[in-house]
Structure 1
Amino acid sequence: MIALLVAACSSQEPQRGKGTALSGGTQSNGTVGFEHVKAGDIFWFALPVPANTSDEPIEITGASVVEVPKGIKVLRYGAYSLDDTEGLALLTEEGDKYTPAFGRLKDHAKEGVKVAAHSSSDIYYLARLKITGEPTRSVRYCKFDYRQGGRELTQTLDCEVELTSK
């Protein structure tokens, strides 16, 4: 009886396995940035375009940045078509005339993003970031949750955006 009670109390959501299907491409090999930011500024930062290097298709169920410093707040995430945004909006300030009107575009994040084997997605994820104070360091690492072959997996890719007030 005690063993059953302990097992019931300690049940947690199953851990995701560590995935290896994704490649971050060139976005995982550098830092993008913007200088002279101030409190209240809002930016859209593109996470690496999902490229499936495996032999099986995947379905991305979520994406997020991992390390967010003091002075920056993630407002939300979205997933948008490269066609709708007229290319990759790598880092763009909200309100700029060249920034896509994300609020009027279809957000694919809720439906999951399917990526065929050995293919890159035409949908990419963005983080909407708000400057709340002087950023203490870069936003770093991008995590993707996905399904592949009936398994729930997670994979972290290198990515970095430096927003400074200098």
Structure 2
Amino acid sequence: MLAGCSPAQEAGQAEPGSALAVDGAQSSGTVGNEHTRVGEIWYFALPVPYNTSSKPIEITKAAVEHIPSGIKVLEYGAYDLNDTEGLPVLAKEGGPYTPEFAKLKNYAAQPVKVPAGKESTIFYLAKMKIIAPPKETARKCRFEYEQGGRAYIQTLDCELELKVTE
């Protein structure tokens, strides 16, 4: 089958991608907090995109695929690692080490370019509110990107567990 004539491309659908590294720090294990409360807002960093391919990519969207009941995603953002002094994998709004995301430049409005063979300096973040005690974990981080004029979707391992204590 010719790649340029695939039905998925003709319909404008994305193909499964493989440009992003699947073995990053966040792909091994679960991050979380066992002492959260209903009403709190938490920031969860998605895996930092690392383009392992030989061509640049442009990430157009990132999201957590499985959000359990009890957690509501308020918004997604994209921030520069230099502005946050490293990757805040999990941070509580108003916490002493939580960056003030509202004051930082959010890069989510335009595609994020990641050169071939490089890790992005921009990471994606989910701002989540606990609306009821979650019964399971939030997991699987999906990235949508373009490379060479084609659209791709790739899902990376990531997992977040927030336990409510009363």
TM-score, scaled to structure 2: 0.91
> 1:15 is aligned with what amino acid?
Q
Equivalent residue, structure 2, for 1:14: 12
Q: Tell me, which stretches of 5 or more residues in structure 1 are unaligned?
A: 1-11
Larger radius of gyration: 1
> 1:67 is aligned with what amino acid?
H
Residue correspondence of structure 1 range 32-111 to structure 2 within 5 A: 32-111=31-110
Deviations 1:116-144 (A, max 9, x none): 00100000000001000010100000000
Equivalent residue, structure 2, for 1:154: 153
Q: Do residues 23 (structure 1) and 13 (structure 2) align? A: no
Q: Distance in 1 between matches of 2:85 and 2:25?
A: 19
> 2:69 is aligned with what amino acid?
K
SS state at 2:68 partner: coil
**Is the 8 Å Cα contact of residues 71 and 128 (structure 2) preserved in structure 1?**
yes
SS state at 1:75 partner: strand
Q: CA deviation at 1:26?
A: 1.4
Deviations 1:52-110 (A, max 9, x none): 00011000000000000010000000000000001101000001121000000000011
Q: CA deviation at 1:13?
A: 5.9
Q: CA deviation at 1:14?
A: 2.3
Q: Structure 1 stretches (4+) deviating beyond 4 angstroms?
A: none
Q: Distance in 2 between matches of 1:28 and 1:125?
A: 15
SS state at 2:164 partner: coil
Q: Distance in 1 between matches of 2:28 and 2:157?
A: 7
How many residues in Structure 1 have an aligned counterpart in Structure 2? 155
Equivalent residue, structure 2, for 1:114: 113
Instruction: Name the Cα RMSD after superposition.
Output: 1.2
Equivalent residue, structure 2, for 1:9: none
Q: Distance in 1 between matches of 2:133 and 2:12?
A: 38
Q: Distance in 2 between matches of 1:67 and 1:35?
A: 19
Q: Distance in 1 between matches of 2:25 and 2:133?
A: 28
TM-score, scaled to structure 1: 0.91
Percent identity, aligned pairs only, is: 55
